[in-house]
Amino acid sequence: MKRQQNNLLEIILQISFSIKALHLITTKIKFRYIKSKLKDSNQNIDILFYRIKLMIKKYNDLKSENIEMKNKIDLLKENNEKIIIDLKKSRLNYQSLKIGKILESDNKQFVKQRIDKMIQDLDFCITNLSS
């Protein structure tokens, strides 16, 4: 799970860097195009400044969106961890209830068989852990 979270963060960072790199490349291409078309007129200079301002605004918008997404990912991770903890607790409670139900049974032979099966399972686990 930690590995998946780390992989997810790495992917997000790579996407973030890719977006920045793509933005810089397109900015450079646009600037070259504009530069080739520009004449020394005030109107063209104003257009250039306007487009630069737009690009800066887009960059800042993407930056803030990236921060929001990272915050959402953090919240989802926290929720996921809480759900996993609740699931583990529920499984333990379920196992306890199953064991209690078996032990309450009037059928002694069935209870003895279930306890023997549990002991065999424990022995198997201990053997595997020892190996």
Q: Residue 23 is encoded by which pair of tokens?
A: 């933005």
Can you tell me the distance from the alpha carbon of 61 to that of 1, in angstroms, rounded to the nearest whole number? 31
**Quick check: pTM over 0.85?**
no
Question: Are the C-beta atoms of 81 and 31 separated by less than 8 Å?
Answer: no
Contacts of 44 (CB under 8 A, 6+ apart): 37, 38
Domain ranges of the chain: 2-130
pLDDT digits (tens, 9 = 90+) for 38-92: 555 667 778 888 999 999 999 999 999 999 999 999 999 999 999 999 999 998 8
